[in-house]
Every structure is written in structure tokens, then in C-alpha cells.
């Protein structure tokens, strides 16, 4: 919360110059204990984000397990499995677009971790580089120009898996109550349009 910052520190200053020493001071601020209601309000974005991220974790695990076992799920045709992969890419891409266009700009006003040059958006770029390769491969498989090989699909998935899983956790952590309260007042949290 900006009112809890030392008088010489402002969230705007942290955001504009990216000063890590100032960021360190913010991270080391001792804040009073939150009531359960306050925690719930500060943590609501993390809970919402985790809900969406759990969908991506389940979808990823479903695809990855099939590829690692070199066997499609029972009762799933090749076309259906390819579509599952394409849907994963499409949904994750849409999720990131919404974050980048509507969520991150609001958060970046006070939170340096949501600025364009910082880790979370850099992770998006890394994820999309790998996801684009997977999507291209699956589209070729769907059109029949390439045969679906689960070992090849696994190789492509492995290409961005580590950064994806780290990102899913990092984003939720950044939106958690203990971090959000460093930058936002309770009143601001109630008015936040996301």
C-alpha cells in the first residue's frame, strides 16, 4: 500500500525508473496482519487467476501424459487429440491477450512486475514462441500434410513447458494478498475493474 511506504518512496517512482533498491525497500516493509475479510479482498485476483491457470495445468497434463506415454487417451481420435492441442494453444493465447491488454496495464500503474520489460511479460513471449511452433505443427497434422507423432509433439511441448509452469505460479504469486497489499489500498482493491 502506498500509504505504508516510507515517505521518500512512491509506487510511481518504483514503476517509472525500475530501481531495484527502491523495490527492495518495498519488499522489506513490515505490514500489519490482515483480517480474513481483508485477505480475501486482496487475494481475489490471485484466486481468479489460479482458477484459469488450473484449467491450463489440467489441459497441459492431459496432452503431456498422452505424448509421454506415446498413446492418445482412450476413445479420442487423432483429429480430436489434435483439436485438444489447438484449443489449448488458442485458449492460452486468448488468456494472455486479455491479460496484456486489460489486466496488466492497470496493475503496472503501481506494480513493477507487470511492466512490459519485466519477467511476467517476458515469460509470455517465451511461451508464445514455443506455443506457436506447437500450433503450426498441429495445424499441419490437421491438414494432413504431416502425420501426428506424439514424440514430436512432446518435444515441442517440452520446448516451453518449464517457462509455462513457472509463469502460471509466478503470476498467481504476484497477485497474492501479501504482494497486492504493498501497492494497493483496500478501497482501490474494491474499485479495481478486474
Number of domains forming the structure of the chain: 1
Could you tell me if residue 7 is inside a domain? no
Could you tell me if residue 15 is inside a domain? no
Full residue range of the structural domain in which residue 84 is found: 36-191
Cα torsion 64, 83, 101, 179: sign: negative
Kindly give, in sequence order, each residue whose CB lies less than 8 Å from that of residue 18, ignoring residues fewer than 6 positions away: 112, 115, 117
Could you tell me if residue 88 is inside a domain? yes
Q: How many CB atoms lie within 10 A of CB 141?
A: 21
Is the full-model pTM beyond 0.85? no
Phi and psi angles of residue 146, each rounded to the nearest 5 degrees, phi first: -135, 140
Each of the 194 residues of the chain gets a pLDDT tens digit; together they read 444 333 223 344 344 444 455 555 555 667 889 999 999 999 999 999 999 999 999 999 999 999 999 999 999 999 999 999 999 999 999 999 999 999 999 999 999 888 877 788 889 999 999 999 999 999 999 999 999 999 999 999 999 999 999 999 999 999 999 999 999 999 999 998 88
Could you tell me if residue 139 is inside a domain? yes
Helices and strands counted in the chain (H then E): 9, 0
Kindly give, in sequence order, each residue whose CB lies less than 8 Å from that of residue 62, ignoring residues fewer than 6 positions away: 73, 84
Cα dihedral angle (50, 55, 59, 64), rounded to 10 degrees? 20
Could you tell me if residue 25 is inside a domain? no
Amino acid at each position: 500500500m502506498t500509504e505504508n511506504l516510507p515517505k521518500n518512496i512512491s509506487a510511481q517512482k518504483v514503476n517509472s525508473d525500475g530501481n531495484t533498491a527502491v523495490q527492495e525497500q518495498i519488499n522489506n516493509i513490515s505490514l500489519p496482519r490482515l483480517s480474513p475479510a481483508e485477505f480475501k479482498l486482496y487475494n481475489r485476483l490471485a484466486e481468479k487467476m489460479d482458477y484459469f491457470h488450473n484449467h491450463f495445468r489440467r489441459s497441459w497434463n492431459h496432452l503431456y501424459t498422452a505424448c509421454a506415454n506415446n498413446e492418445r487417451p482412450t476413445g479420442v481420435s487423432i483429429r480430436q487429440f489434435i483439436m485438444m492441442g489447438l484449443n489449448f494453444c488458442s485458449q492460452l493465447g486468448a488468456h494472455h491477450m486479455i491479460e496484456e491488454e486489460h489486466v496488466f496495464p492497470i496493475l503496472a500503474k503501481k506494480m513493477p512486475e507487470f511492466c512490459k520489460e519485466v519477467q511476467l511479460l517476458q515469460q509470455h513471449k517465451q511461451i508464445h514462441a514455443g506455443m506457436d511452433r506447437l500450433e503450426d505443427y498441429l495445424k499441419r497434422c490437421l491438414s494432413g500434410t504431416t502425420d501426428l507423432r506424439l514424440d514430436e509433439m512432446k518435444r515441442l511441448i517440452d520446448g516451453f513447458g518449464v517457462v509455462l509452469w513457472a509463469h502460471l505460479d509466478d503470476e498467481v504469486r504476484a497477485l497474492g494478498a501479501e504482494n497486492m497489499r504493498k501497492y494497493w489500498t483496500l478501497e482501490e482493491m474494491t474499485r479495481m475493474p478486474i
